[in-house]
């Protein structure tokens, strides 16, 4: 299309919804990888994290006017999709010849809808992993070659959306080339640990389980690949020594799947004495499997573990295809608590058969599980998920920006949306009221952590409820201390 196709700007759309972002500022890891591969292919790349910077669309416009990119790319999951479209719309208004590209989970599955209704602002969609596809697409465009030769893309051809054959997943994750030097590190902090510098690292990709509400198992087609433990350690040491990173969150959907590999990684972290806090997500059954090595989790400075409980009844868990037992969640959380590691879990509310009584049982179960942090989430009806066919008759809000787990969009048979929202608020209120009354019983590590978390939550989307918690005067003093 043009020989001067060189300057590429990767932009996160300015979208915000609540609790997650109140805990810290999370860098766009996917862009870090894509930027590295684009740069190796000879392109001039800039990462513009408008979301983390809390920039407005007006600021996005001014930034685009200054940088004057030849290519603008955005990433989108379902709730950020409308904002991502607005970024590309602004880019086209500034320069109608700019090449616009969208990637991420939502357009990966919804490419026909995206191109049908927003084909005037979205030139190409990168489906699946972008590290190989993105540079190959831009090279084809720069050389006026036919994009249909590029695997893993979708675009409009003669007025109709078309997609090229899928690109195979990258076999060797150790060969990825993250552009860590393009990250504005001062932007990324973990508020729950004294505002330490925070990185996000991927040690594996994928998940072999089939949870019906999950987009990730669909995106990765129930596959799982992992980096070698030695490669992960090298990357962590680089982030610590060159960029001053003190806290790392593993972005993996399932970092612990292979016990042998996972234990080797823990052993290397302990041996190298990395001195970095590590946050992970894993499954209940892996915690039960690893009961005999949870001391290694602690020695490796894993400070926070999220496991998804999701439901209060076995029937609901079976609908979600969690492949887990309700009673196992309690045991896993107990084990993590005994290891003096912060526990976090979540429960999905608002299914079509939800009632005030079933929500009440979920709240009581959450308190019984006694995780340090629990979040009650409104079911997200991803239009491409396996469970969507069951939810579609009850979806009453079609605005994708509301599909953020915080806003009910599915109306149960016997509740209004307002009642679901009030129940979510009440669930958080009751749980954290009970939790803060346990503050004095926690270990010194957990007590400090939870005081910080409580203050963070007061400034989050559930802050108004948290502020109403009635605590003894002595406890309020302790929290402020």
Looking at mean pLDDT, say which of 274-278, 328-332, 363-367, 379-383 comes out highest. 274-278
Give the tokens for residue 350. 């608002």
> In this structure, are residues 198 and 25 in contact, taking their beta carbons and an 8 Å threshold?
yes
Half-sphere exposure of 191 (CA within 13 A, CB side): 19
| pLDDT at position 475 | 44
Confidence bin at 479 (pLDDT 50/70/90): very low
Count each helix (H run) and each strand (E run) in the chain, helices first.
20, 16
Residue 175 to residues 107, 203, 230, Cα–Cα distance (Å):
26, 12, 13
Indicate if the pLDDT at residue 115 is higher than 60: yes
Indicate if the pLDDT at residue 409 is higher than 80: yes
Q: Cα separation of 70 and 68, whole Å?
A: 7
Q: What is this structure's pTM?
A: 0.91
Q: Which residues contact 423 (CB under 8 A, 6 or more apart)?
A: 349, 356, 359, 415
| pLDDT at position 89 | 98
> In this structure, are residues 66 and 202 in contact, taking their beta carbons and an 8 Å threshold?
no
Superfamily of segment(s) 7-163: Response regulator (3.40.50.2300)
| pLDDT at position 135 | 97
Q: In what order do the strands lie in the sheet with 373-378?
A: 189-190, 196-201, 247-250, 277-282, 302-307, 342-349, 373-378
Residue 443 to residues 63, 300, 372, 465, Cα–Cα distance (Å):
47, 18, 12, 26
Is pLDDT larger for residue 308 or for residue 241? 241
> In this structure, are residues 238 and 180 in contact, taking their beta carbons and an 8 Å threshold?
yes
Among the ranges given (11-15, 27-31, 44-48, 429-433), the one the predictor scored with the smallest mean pLDDT: 429-433
Q: Which of 432, 294, 291 is nearest to 372 (CA)?
A: 432
Indicate if the pLDDT at residue 227 is higher than 90: yes
Q: Cα separation of 325 and 107, whole Å?
A: 34
Query: Residues 422-434: pLDDT tens digits?
Result: 999 999 999 998 9
Confidence bin at 208 (pLDDT 50/70/90): low
Is pLDDT larger for residue 388 or for residue 55? 55
Average pLDDT, the chain: 89
Indicate if the pLDDT at residue 245 is higher than 70: yes
Domain ranges of the chain: 7-163, 347-481
Indicate if the pLDDT at residue 79 is higher than 50: yes
Q: In this structure, is the dihedral angle defined by the CA atoms of residues 152, 147, 115 and 36, taken in order, positive or negative? A: positive
The residue-averaged pLDDT of 179-192 equals 96
> In this structure, are residues 80 and 13 in contact, taking their beta carbons and an 8 Å threshold?
yes
| pLDDT at position 19 | 60
> In this structure, are residues 343 and 302 in contact, taking their beta carbons and an 8 Å threshold?
no
> In this structure, are residues 76 and 125 in contact, taking their beta carbons and an 8 Å threshold?
no
| pLDDT at position 387 | 85
Percentage of residues of the chain with pLDDT beyond 90: 74
State whether residue 277 is helix, strand or coil.
Answer: strand
Among the ranges given (49-63, 290-304, 462-476), the one the predictor scored with the smallest mean pLDDT: 462-476
Q: Which of 38, 371, 17 is nearest to 178 (CA)?
A: 38
Cβ burial, residue 424 (10 Å; 0-12/13-18/19+): buried
User: Residue written as tokens 């993996």?
Assistant: 252
Q: Which of 438, 437, 442, 421 is nearest to 469 (CA)?
A: 437
Among the ranges given (245-254, 349-358, 382-391, 394-403), the one the predictor scored with the smallest mean pLDDT: 382-391
- DSSP label of 402: G
Residue 203 to residues 165, 276, 287, Cα–Cα distance (Å):
27, 15, 18
Q: How many Cβ atoms from other residues are within 10 Å of residue 143's Cβ?
A: 11
DSSP string, 332-370: HHHHHHHTT-EEEEEEEE--TT--HHHHHHHHHHHHHHT
Pairing verdict, β 224-226 and 204-206: antiparallel
Pairing verdict, β 7-11 and 44-48: parallel
> What burial letters (b/e) apply to 224-250, b meaning 16+ CB within 10 Å?
bebbebebbbebbeebbeeeebbbbbb
| pLDDT at position 220 | 57
Half-sphere exposure of 163 (CA within 13 A, CB side): 18
- DSSP label of 310: B
The residue-averaged pLDDT of 178-202 equals 96
The residue-averaged pLDDT of 39-65 equals 97
């Amino acid at each position: 299309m043009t020989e001067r196709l060189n300057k590429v700007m990767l932009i996160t759309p300015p979208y915000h919804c609540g609790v997650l972002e109140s805990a810290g500022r999370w860098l766009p890891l996917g862009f870090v990888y894509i930027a590295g591969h684009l740069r190796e292919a000879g392109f001039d790349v800039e990462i513009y994290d408008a979301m983390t910077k809390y920039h407005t669309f007006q600021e996005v416009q001014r930034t685009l006017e200054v940088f004057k990119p030849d290519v603008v790319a955005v990433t989108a999951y379902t709730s950020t999709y409308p904002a991502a479209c607005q970024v590309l719309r602004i880019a086209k208004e500034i320069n109608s010849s700019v090449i616009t590209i969208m990637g991420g989970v939502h357009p990966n599955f919804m490419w026909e809808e995206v191109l049908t209704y927003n084909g005037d602002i979205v030139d190409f969609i990168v489906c699946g992993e972008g590290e190989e596809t993105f540079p190959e697409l831009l090279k084809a465009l720069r050389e006026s070659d036919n994009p249909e030769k590029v695997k893993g893309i979708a675009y409009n051809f003669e007025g109709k959306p078309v997609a090229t054959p899928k690109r195979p997943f990258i076999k060797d994750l150790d060969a990825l080339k993250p552009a860590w030097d393009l990250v504005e590190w001062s932007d990324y902090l973990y508020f729950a640990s004294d505002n330490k510098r925070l990185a996000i690292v991927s040690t594996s990709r994928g998940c072999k389980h089939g949870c019906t509400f999950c987009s990730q198992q669909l995106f990765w087609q129930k596959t799982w690949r992992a980096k070698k433990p030695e490669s992960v350690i090298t990357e962590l040491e680089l982030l610590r020594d060159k960029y001053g990173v003190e806290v790392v969150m593993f972005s993996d959907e399932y970092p612990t799947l292979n016990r042998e590999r996972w234990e080797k990684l823990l052993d290397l972290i302990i041996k190298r004495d990395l001195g970095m806090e590590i946050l992970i997500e894993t499954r209940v059954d892996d915690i039960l499997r690893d009961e005999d090595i949870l001391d290694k989790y602690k020695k490796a400075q894993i400070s926070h573990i999220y496991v998804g409980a999701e439901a209060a009844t076995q029937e609901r868990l079976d609908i979600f295809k969690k492949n887990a037992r309700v009673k196992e969640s309690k045991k896993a959380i107990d084990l993590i608590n005994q290891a003096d590691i912060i526990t976090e879990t979540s429960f999905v509310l608002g299914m079509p058969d939800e009632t005030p009584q079933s929500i009440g049982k979920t709240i009581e179960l959450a308190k019984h599980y006694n995780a340090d942090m629990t979040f009650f989430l409104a079911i997200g009806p991803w239009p491409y998920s396996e469970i969507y066919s069951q939810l579609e008759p009850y979806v009453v809000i079609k605005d994708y920006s509301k599909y953020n787990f915080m806003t009910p969009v599915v109306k149960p048979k016997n509740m209004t949306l307002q009642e679901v929202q009030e129940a979510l608020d009440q669930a958080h209120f009751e749980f954290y009221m009970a939790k803060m009354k346990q503050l004095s019983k926690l270990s010194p590590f957990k007590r400090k952590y939870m005081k910080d978390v409580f203050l963070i939550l007061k400034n989050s989307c559930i802050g108004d409820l948290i502020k109403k918690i009635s605590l003894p005067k002595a406890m309020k003093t302790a929290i402020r201390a």
